[in-house]
Each structure stands twice: as C-alpha cells, then as structure tokens.
C-alpha cells in the first residue's frame, strides 16, 4: 500500500517537473510587424534613440523590453510589460503594466516560440533522471534477495 502511494506521488511530481521544464524550453525568433501575433510573448530591442526616448517610462539605459503584445498599430507596439532589461544586464520585473513603444524606437522585435530541439533534449534527460531515481529509491519492487544468497557462506 505504501509503495503504491510513493509511486503515485512520484508520478505526480514527475509530471509537474516535466511540464515545467518543457514549458521553459523556448527561444525568441525575429519577426516583422506584419507577422507578429497579438497576444504572443515578445522581446523588443530598442534603438539608441529609443533607449533615450523611453527612459522616462522604462528607466535609464533600457535595451530590451519583454512582455505580451497587446496591440500593433502603424506607429507603436503596446506591450503588457513583464521584464525590462538594461543594456548592462540588470533586469527589472514588471506586473503587466501597458507601455506603448513607438515603432521608430524599435531595433528588432522577436516572438517567443517553443524550441522543439531544446524540449526534446530536456525530455530525454528528464526521463533518464527519473528512471535512475526510481531504480535507486524504489528498485524493481520484487522484494527478492539478490542472487547468490545472503553472502553468509552457510552454517558453520
């Protein structure tokens, strides 16, 4: 009974872990204004002028803004901002505040997409680790003594 409970909890834990790891296997691909999808997660790289122009809204020295694309117009991208990364690498997390970024201030826009290759490698590594953990902690579950007896050599 206890062994079945341990296996069930292990399976639930493994499922949560796999889902989390696979969800984090992504990459950003460059897109154009015509192909970017509203509602998708994007990273917007700013021009030097954009860094200076948006300093009052985003903070000084911002190089990249990440978030969900709310709207696209002829003049701006509106993002629900999740992360602002300065050019020196310092990151500031936001809570989805909407910011309109003028298109003239954008050097590049990239859309977040699932990376099949990273996901496949992560899944194989995770399954191998899970198999090893199950074997190490639970074993085959047969309860049989190892071949060759107890190693005591018999009665004396």
Rounded-to-integer distance, Cα 23 and Cα 60, Å: 32
Fold entry, domain 27-113? SH3 type barrels. (2.30.30)
Q: For 21-54, what is each residue's pLDDT tens digit? A: 555 567 777 777 767 889 999 999 999 999 999 9
Q: For 88-117, what is each residue's pLDDT tens digit? A: 999 999 999 999 999 999 999 999 766 555
Rounded-to-integer distance, Cα 94 and Cα 59, Å: 12
Let me know: does 97 contact 87? Beta carbons within 8 Å: no
Locate tokens 């899944």: which residue? 123
Q: Extract the tokens encoding 23.
A: 């969800």
Say if pTM beats, i.e. exceeds, 0.75: no
């Amino acid at each position: 009974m206890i062994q079945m409970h341990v296996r069930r909890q292990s399976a639930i834990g493994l499922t949560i872990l796999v889902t989390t790891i696979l969800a984090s296997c992504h990459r950003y691909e460059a897109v154009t204004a015509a192909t970017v999808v509203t509602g998708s997660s994007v990273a917007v790289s700013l021009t030097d002028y954009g860094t200076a122009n948006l300093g009052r809204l985003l903070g000084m020295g911002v190089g990249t803004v990440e978030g969900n694309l709310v709207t696209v117009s002829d003049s701006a991208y509106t993002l629900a901002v999740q992360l602002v990364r300065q050019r020196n690498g310092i990151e500031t997390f936001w809570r989805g505040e909407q910011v309109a970024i003028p298109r003239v201030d954008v050097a590049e826009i990239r859309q977040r997409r699932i990376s099949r290759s990273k996901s496949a490698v992560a899944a194989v590594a995770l399954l191998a680790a899970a198999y090893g953990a199950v074997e190490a902690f639970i074993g085959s579950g047969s309860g049989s003594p190892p071949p060759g007896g107890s190693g005591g050599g018999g009665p004396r």
